[in-house]
Amino acid sequence: MAERNNNSKPNNKNGEPKDPPNNAEEVPEEESAKKKELEELPPFEVVEGSRIPASSFMFQFKNVEYSSGRNKTLLCYKVERGEDQVFHGYLEDEHVSAHAEEAFFSNVLPQFLSSGAVSVTCYVSSSPCVNCAACIARCLRRNKTLKLRLVVARLFQWEESEIRGALRGITSAGCQLRMMKSADYLYVWQNFVEPDIVLNEEGESEQKSEQGAFIPWEDLDENSRYYEEKLSEILR
């Protein structure tokens, strides 16, 4: 499976930060403040009430065994609170210092946990790493009224003993963990995905694909069953 890379980008090709030259001009205060603000932005993107581009969904959520190039995690969430309060959104990480799961359970979900029971379903492109699993388990233990379902497309480095133990840990904490099936893909497509937009010969935007036309790849069901067997072995 593709590894999650948490290394930030070096400042130059040698990986060493450069000191400013002695005769460097002073950066205007307004520009300096803007630069600082950009540097302090969180290393993940939170998109509320929006949709994932279809091509990104089809690539990142494809349940292949060897996920070469799929080094980004997408998390679609549905939060239900009370009888008529339903919230949708998705997170996408860039693997700098926070993964999408950690960002959701540490920064997004707490705003919905102020009072009463909360039911959360997360559709994630891959299962959590050890640190994200620990974050999920802590959240469940601290919030006894939280009901969580985690539905994942692929198992992340499931051969590793630490990962296997982490997955058992979140289920023992109360998380319902399972693999995505055809019906789950269709649900995410209809509720979280938007058609790709391209320009025609006249330079006008047009849809590349229809919103309702989710076409499963040939081995989707076979791969889903394969991962279900692996997950069942891990959780025994």
Give the CATH H-level superfamily of domain 51-235.
Cytidine Deaminase, domain 2 (3.40.140.10)
Lookup: tokens for 172: 């023992």
3-class secondary-structure state, position 228: helix
Q: How far apart are CA 43 and CA 25, in angstroms?
A: 29
Band of residue 183 on the pLDDT scale cut at 50, 70, 90: very high
Q: How far apart are CA 74 and CA 223, in angstroms?
A: 19
The predicted-structure confidence for 94-141, as pLDDT tens digits, reads as follows 655 678 898 899 889 998 998 789 999 999 999 999 999 999 999 999
pLDDT at 207: 56
| Residue 26 designated active-site | no
- Of 3, 30, 80, 101, catalytic: 101
List the domain boundaries for the chain. 51-235
Instruction: Give the whole-number percent of the chain exceeding pLDDT 90.
Output: 50
Is residue 203 left, alpha or beta, with left meaning phi > 0 and alpha meaning psi from -120 to 50?
left
The predicted-structure confidence for 37-77, as pLDDT tens digits, reads as follows 444 445 454 444 478 889 889 999 999 877 667 878 899 99
Q: Kindly state the DSSP code that residue 10 receives in the 8-state scheme.
A: P
Q: How far apart are CA 164 and CA 142, in angstroms?
A: 23
More confident residue, 204 or 27: 204
Report the first-to-last Cα separation within the chain, whole angstroms.
22
The predicted-structure confidence for 8-23, as pLDDT tens digits, reads as follows 333 333 333 334 344 4
